[in-house]
Amino acid sequence: MAAKNTRIVIRGMDDVKQGLMKLGLTARQSRTQINKALRPAATKLVKGMQQAYRKEFNTFNRRGSSVTPTWKTIGVITAKRSREPGLFVGPIKKRTTPITVKGSNSSNLAAMQIRGNKIQRPRKDIFKATAKKMEQTIYLQAEKDLDKLLDKWIKKSGF
């Protein structure tokens, strides 16, 4: 997957986690709450990536087709096996119709088009470019939502 190298890290996440621990939340509960707070920022990035993908690859809708449009395979993935809160944004393998290239299945058309294969040359990495372009917007959204989360938990604890 091309998006593995791209990573946006929110600074100050340890302070948020410690604050939630002091309020009596377990590590799992605080991770879930932080992921919920980060999801709107990740959704903004998904919409930007989908739009950039459609522009780069000139995709069009086929009426009556049972195949999922490739741009719809870009989405948010929750880091379930990690102890740290995290959301990944990029091509999702589950939502895709398998595509066979020279006898073997590709992982996902969106990822394959960026990475390239035996037939196609690698294309411009729109995932990395979009993440870099929208970085400030995503930070502001995440910061706002994390502040709301902390205020909510502080009010709930009675301080």
Residue 104 has φ and ψ, to the nearest 5°, of -125, 150
d(CA 52, CA 67): 20
pLDDT along the chain (159 residues), means of 10: 54 70 74 89 93 79 65 85 84 69 68 75 84 91 89 74
pLDDT at site 46: 93
Q: Whose CA is closest to 116, among 104, 106, 103? A: 106
Cβ atoms of residues 99 and 112 within 8 Å = yes
pLDDT at site 137: 92
What is the value of pTM for the model shown? 0.73
pLDDT at site 138: 92
- Measured CA to CA in angstroms, residue 79 lies from 83, 94, 148, 152, 158 at distances of 9, 15, 22, 24, 31
Cβ atoms of residues 85 and 34 within 8 Å = yes
Cβ atoms of residues 38 and 87 within 8 Å = yes
Residues in contact with 24: Cβ distance below 8 Å, sequence separation at least 6, in sequence order: 157
pLDDT at site 3: 46
Q: Write out the two tokens for 33.
A: 């709450």
d(CA 2, CA 112): 8
